[in-house]
Amino acid sequence: MNKLTVKPAEGKLGILVVGNGAVATTFMTGVLMARRGLAKPIGSMTQYDKVRVGRGADKRYLHYGDIVSLANLNDIVFGCWDVYPQNAYQSAVYAEVLKREDIEPVRDELEKIVPMPAAFDKNYAKRLDGDNVKPCKNRWQMVEMLRDDIRRFRKEQNCDRVVVLWAASTEIYVPVNKDVHYRLQDLEQAMQADDREHIAPSMCYAYAALIEGCPFVMGAPNTTVDIPAMWELAEKTKMPIAGKDFKTGQTLVKSGFAPIIGTRCLGLEGWFSTNILGNRDGLVLDVPENFRTKEVSKLSTLETILKADEQPDLYSDYYHKVRINYYPPRNDNKESWDNIDIRGWMNYPMQIKINFLCRDSILAAPVCLDLCLLIDLAARAGRFGTQRFLSFFLKSPMHDYTRGEEAVNHLYQQHTMLKNAIREMGGFEPDEEID
- CATH classification at residue 184: 3.40.50.720
Q: Which of 357, 389, 417 is the last residue of a domain?
A: 357
Instruction: Name which of 184, 228, 163 is nearest 375 in CA terms.
Output: 163
Looking at the structure, tell me whether residues 376 and 318 fall in a common domain: no
Q: What is the pTM of this model?
A: 0.94
Q: Could you tell me the residue range of the domain that residue 402 belongs to?
A: 3-246+361-425
Q: How confident is the model at residue 297 (pLDDT cuts 50, 70, 90)?
A: low
Predicted confidence (pLDDT) per residue in 11-66, tens digit: 999 999 999 999 999 999 999 999 999 999 999 999 999 999 999 999 999 999 99
Looking at the structure, tell me whether residues 350 and 368 fall in a common domain: no
Mean pLDDT score, 370-397: 97
Beta bridge partners of 117: 82
Q: What is the DSSP secondary structure assignment for residue 73, as one 8-state letter?
A: G
Looking at the structure, tell me whether residues 86 and 32 fall in a common domain: yes
Average pLDDT over the chain, rounded to whole? 94
The percent of residues above 90 in pLDDT, for the chain, comes to 86
From CA 424, how far away is CA 422, in angstroms rounded?
A: 5
Judge whether 432 lies within some domain: no
Mean pLDDT score, 130-153: 97
Mean pLDDT score, 73-98: 97
Q: Please say whether the beta carbons of 219 and 167 come within 8 A.
A: yes
- Alpha-carbon distances of 185 from 86, 175, 225, rounded to whole Å: 37, 18, 15
Looking at the structure, tell me whether residues 66 and 156 fall in a common domain: yes
Instruction: Name which of 123, 124, 117, 44 is nearest 83 in CA terms.
Output: 117
Q: Is the pLDDT of residue 1 over 50?
A: no
From CA 38, how far away is CA 414, in angstroms rounded?
A: 32
Q: Is the pLDDT of residue 2 over 50?
A: no
What residues contact 263, with CB distance under 8 A and at least 6 apart? none
Judge whether 340 lies within some domain: yes
pLDDT at 298: 64
H-helix segments, 17-95: 22-35, 45-48, 64-67, 88-95
